[in-house]
Amino acid sequence: MNKDRITTKLKLEIIIMVKIDDIKAYIEQIPPAPEVLKETLAFIKQGELTKAAACAEKDNALHVYLKTLVNKPIYGFKNEVNDLSQIFGILGISGAQQVLYNYMLTLLSPKKWELFKLNESLFFELQAQLNLQWKQILHQLGIDDKDTESAVTLLPASIIVCEALFKEHRDEVTLLRSVKAIDYNTILQRLCGMSLFDICGLIAQKWEMPVSISSIVQAASGTGISDDASIDQLGRWMHLLLFYEFSQGAYIEAGLNDFLEFHVTYAEPVYNDFMSLMEIQ
């Protein structure tokens, strides 16, 4: 065995452990929210949409983000919606909270993605699609809860954290990908002993979401099955939604589907209902 092959083999055997404190330190930056954004979110949590809209008017960037979001084709409005009171009315309390979490992520998202083949527009589209489809799923299930609706926001947040973690160990990640073709979730577990869904749980704690929200996202991995039937049902729907969305061509190219393993048996009880809902869109 020549020297280069020995060196490569040694590198592949190294498990680079990232301390959980390092991950938590990075998550502490989520969200780096301006006071206006914090106040807007507080009003939304209180159900005060009119006050939230008046507060959001003070942040021009937030106004532009909200206007851009609700005027995307997936929302189906024929005429452009500009008024913030109308926008918050359209979104409702649950939708508005979810969208503000997504806006927080735009403040933290990298200007240039280095590991995942993403850009600002594609990441924005991912957030918008997940938001709308998850909301439709909850409507189908008769669930109206702002925290449950915001649960799907945790996945894009975790992707941002993974980009930052992988960027710090880019050489090792690239080597593992090229020599052994190891998927990103396995690399993540080697780096820090956590999966994408575990990181979601840490972010949920940071955002002070109910424990049930972390449980739904863990169940969505297909391996963290819950003893609670209602959480498990939501986990199955989210599992299918993530696999469905990450299997789109652009996200396969970006590498996001590497975070998911489709668990057929787990998803089977809701599979037909899920596909029927997707076909309606």
| Residues 93 and 52 placed together within one structural domain of the fold | yes
pLDDT of residue 12: 40
pLDDT of residue 138: 94
| Residues 13 and 47 placed together within one structural domain of the fold | no
Q: Find out whether 122 and 250 touch, Cβ atoms under 8 Å.
A: yes
pLDDT of residue 269: 93
- Is residue 51 domain-resident? yes
What residue has token string 């080597």? 175
- Is residue 224 domain-resident? yes
**CA 278, CA 210: separation in Å to the nearest integer?**
28
pLDDT of residue 223: 85
**CA 271, CA 264: separation in Å to the nearest integer?**
9
pLDDT of residue 245: 94
107-133 residues labelled b (16+ CB within 10 A) or e (exposed): bbbbeebebbebeeebbbbbbbbbbbb
| Residues 78 and 172 placed together within one structural domain of the fold | no
DSSP conformation letters of 32-99? ---HHHHHHHHHHHTT-HHHHHHHHTT-HHHHHHHHHHHTSGGG--SS----HHHHHHHHHHHHHHHH
**CA 135, CA 142: separation in Å to the nearest integer?**
10
- Residue 61: give the domain boundaries: 32-108
Domain end point (choices 108, 140, 164): 108
| Residues 243 and 140 placed together within one structural domain of the fold | yes
| Residues 170 and 76 placed together within one structural domain of the fold | no
| Residues 92 and 20 placed together within one structural domain of the fold | no
| Residues 157 and 19 placed together within one structural domain of the fold | yes
Q: Find out whether 157 and 105 touch, Cβ atoms under 8 Å.
A: yes
Q: Find out whether 161 and 26 touch, Cβ atoms under 8 Å.
A: yes
- Is residue 141 domain-resident? yes
pLDDT of residue 78: 74
What residue has token string 């979001």? 69
| Residues 152 and 18 placed together within one structural domain of the fold | yes
Number of domains in the chain: 2
| Residues 56 and 25 placed together within one structural domain of the fold | no
pLDDT along the chain (281 residues), means of 10: 49 52 72 75 90 90 85 75 87 86 81 88 88 92 90 90 83 75 79 86 85 92 86 95 93 89 92 90 60
| Residues 124 and 53 placed together within one structural domain of the fold | no
| Residues 102 and 130 placed together within one structural domain of the fold | no
- Is residue 149 domain-resident? yes
Retrieve residue 110's tokens.
Answer: 């990298």
- Is residue 196 domain-resident? yes
pLDDT of residue 231: 93
| Residues 126 and 248 placed together within one structural domain of the fold | yes
160: nearest Cα among 27, 18, 260, 258: 27
**CA 94, CA 184: separation in Å to the nearest integer?**
32
- Is residue 113 domain-resident? no
- Is residue 239 domain-resident? yes
